[in-house]
Chains A and B, each alone.
Chain A
Amino acid sequence: MTQALLNVKNLTIEFQGGNKAVDDISFSVAKGEAVAVVGESGSGKSVTALALTRLLPQPPACAIGGRILYREKNLLTANNEEIRAVRGKEIAYIFQEPSTSLNPVFSIGYQIAEAIKLHRPEVKDINAEIVRVLSLVGIRNPGQRLKDYPHQFSGGMQQRAMIAMALACQPQLLVADEPTTALDVTIQAQIIDLLKELKQKTDMSVLLITHNFGIVSGFADRVIVMFRGKIVEEGPTQEVLKNPQHPYTKALIECIPQLGQKKERLTTIDYSKIV
């Protein structure tokens, strides 16, 4: 494996009241690698993603321990200026709900331009750059559509616009926090294919956060399974899927209904059996 782009060491995140959302986790993401973090809601996967660039509001998040090394630089101790240079520019995000992540009163083009102006002041022809990223994510007729407002886009197109915005800064690492949960299956497949294609084209790393093992299988090189703030299993995707070691991983894979394998009842997770 090549040198790690992101190296998280012993990360612990505690909230006011002593709730440990993330408990001593370590993982790394190499350059050009796609890593998936899988877990149910409440497992601490989104909190981990937000903590990477210190996006967690403090308070209520307090007592963050450990180290987050991005290119050997600890982001947890970096000053505001340094972290701002990383946010968006080096590590970009796309979130679950595209309709709430976009500002409804500005056009799509304006919102992408904002990101370009801030992070890439060297770009002269901003309009051409917006058209380029919009066509990169498969929006037809980008020269016209950039004048549209978010409500004129469908859910899938809004998510494409979010990805375009993230790509406009040419990030090294894209953190995709449940990017397809709010979308239909067909659109979900399109977005995952798009991410795959973009990853190949631009050689960026992707950290995919999801609760659904189904979308992980064709996408990620490695999987990290989180349960109650801890990493319970980690390994190459196909290995984990075929031969899960931890009972929680097994349960999480089993509860997904599969086409053509009709069961009397769906398997649910018996938490008492997971220690």
Chain B
Amino acid sequence: MNPLITVSNLKVYFPVYGGLLRRVVDQVKAVDEVSFTVGKGQTVGLVGESGSGKSTIGKSIVQLVDISGGEIEYDGKKISTLHGKDFLPYRKRIQMIFQDPYNSLNPRMTVEQIIGEPLEIHFKQMSKPQRRVRIEELLELVGLKKEHIDRYPHEFSGGQRQRIGIARALAVEPEFIICDEPVSALDVSVQAQIVNLLQDLQQKLGLTYLFISHDLAVVEHLCDYVLVLNEGKIVEHGDPEQIYQSPQHPYTRKLLDAVPQI
């Protein structure tokens, strides 16, 4: 399978300032020499506790944080050195879904404005009525209703808001979606709905996912390949069945033991 994205020796260090002159006295190695690939149409799970660096990896791919070293290749082209205008086309091809559906939607914008904003940037030729039709299509794609287009975020439940977030990511017809804990703020019953929606969309649109989560049960269900991250390093990787049946690293075992079982 052709890798869509290849991350090699990725490093993200954050400076620690200290002393009277606020000089850099130390570094936090949030991501330390991480390498992995995601094949086209695959779902790769990135698992770890908070602070393990999993979200930082997701953010560094879309350049929401600066990387300190290593390379990111997308579809055979090195994207980690691109900036500004050169990176813009990749912002269309790579999208992100965030954890908290309450904080990731602007409360002063209507659903039309929220989903329309990426369209204004990446589909400049689209007229306003065309855009409205496209937004209505997207709402139906994620299981919402056309009539919801003029509403504000506070009028929706948590699960519905997450659907709006997904519609916004899908608006620009991306190939690759980074899902940063998309279901951990939701009720278990709603979580199941959103996970199913993500699976349906993947089949329908041929999407590739990087799925970041601390919930191993969800990851096992959804992912083709799993990377276990601890303190910025990948400590174990493999097929979900293999990892769950015979975890090699003590940290993986600790994570597995923590999953509540009925």
Residues on A facing B (Cβ under 8 Å): 40-42, 154-155, 184-189, 192, 211-215, 217-218, 241, 251-253, 255-260, 262-263, 265-269
Contacts and interface: CB of A to CB of B under 8 A. Distances in A.
User: Which of B215, B217, B254, B256 has the most chain A CB within a 10 Å cutoff?
Assistant: B217
Given A217-B261, A258-B262, A268 B192 contact: yes
B158 to A, nearest CB: 7
29 contacts: A40-B187, A40-B190, A154-B51, A155-B50, A184-B49, A184-B50, A185-B215, A185-B216, A185-B255, A185-B258, A211-B188, A211-B189, A214-B259, A214-B260, A215-B260, A217-B262, A241-B262, A252-B188, A253-B262, A255-B192, A257-B195, A257-B217, A257-B218, A257-B221, A258-B217, A259-B256, A262-B221, A266-B221, A268-B192
Contact of B259 (A42, A252, A259): A259
Contact of B220 (A241, A251, A262, A269): A262
Contacts of B188: 211-214, 252, 255-256
A244 B216 CA distance: 25
B248 interface: no
B104 interface: no
A10 B105 CA distance: 40
Given A192-B260, A211-B187, A257-B221, 15 more contacts: A40-B189, A154-B51, A186-B49, A187-B49, A211-B188, A212-B188, A213-B188, A213-B262, A214-B188, A214-B259, A214-B260, A257-B215, A262-B220, A267-B192, A269-B192
Nearest to A267: B192
A267 B196 CA distance: 9
Given A184-B50, A186-B255, A262-B221, A257 B262 contact: no
A256 B183 CA distance: 12
A185 B261 contact: no
Contacts of A215: 260
Nearest to B257: A189
A213 B190 CA distance: 14
B53 to A, nearest CB: 14
B248 to A, nearest CB: 17
Interface in B186-238: 187-193, 195-196, 199, 214-218, 220-221
B259 A269 contact: no
A189 B196 contact: no
Contacts of A40: 187, 189-190
A154 B49 CA distance: 12
A218 B260 CA distance: 8
A259 to B, nearest CB: 5
Report, nearest first, the 9 A-B pairs whose CB atoms are least far apart.
A214-B260, A266-B192, A189-B258, A257-B217, A255-B192, A186-B258, A211-B187, A185-B258, A184-B214
